[in-house]
Amino acid sequence: MEVTKKRMVYHERQRLYFCGQHTLNNLFQDKVFTKEQLDNIALKLAEKTSLEIWTWSSYFVNPHKSLLGNYDVNVLEMALREKDLEVKWFDVRKDIRSVIQFADKSLFGLILNIPSSRYFWTSYHWIAIKHFQYNEEPAEVYNLDSKLYLPEKFENLEKVYKFLEFVLYKSGNILLVKKGVE
């Protein structure tokens, strides 16, 4: 992957454990979601899923986010639905090159969830992969991992597919974010 200097690509860097927020903002190429907005979504989800056990402590211990700010997939999916986008989980039994088509005008981007081992535990890290299509030229695809110092432009689509295959090999997940929620 080569580091891009050619185009201005919006890229939020990692701060604490807010990779879910950074991933969404990197995908939208702007500061669209705040911590407060995502916390409210997590709170709504907790209220919905646990009405019978809802207590004051639910404000502090939420099954949809960690104390340090890491949001689960339900929060990201609901935030995307609020922006009229849908999320489709990649089926690992399918061929990645036939399912993920960067020329598809309904593809908004990809969200990856990859395992990250530290000391005695494994946590997961959210990453945005965003493509830009200009006329009939091949799509420019960027890795917008918030842990990167700068966004990284993939040299070509084959490099993107190899990266995505590696994510799946490491037991990660790929979510396709599509326009046009029905």
**11, 64, 125, 131: which is the annotated catalytic residue?**
125
Could you tell me the mean pLDDT of each successive run of 10 residues in the chain, 182 residues long?
61 80 95 90 75 54 64 91 95 93 93 83 86 80 94 95 94 91 51
DSSP state string for 58-114: GGTSBTTB-TT--B-HHHHHHHHHHTTEEEEE--TTS-HHHH--TT-TTEEEEEEEE
Check residue 4 and give its pLDDT: 43
DSSP letter at 37? H
DSSP state string for 41-74: HHHHHHHHHTGGG--GGGGTSBTTB-TT--B-HH
Q: Which tokens is 70 given? A: 């890491």
Check residue 64 and give its pLDDT: 57
**19, 22, 64, 131: which is the annotated catalytic residue?**
19
Residue-range domains of the chain with CATH: 13-179 (3.90.70.40)
Check residue 139 and give its pLDDT: 82
Is residue 19 flagged as an active site residue?
Answer: yes
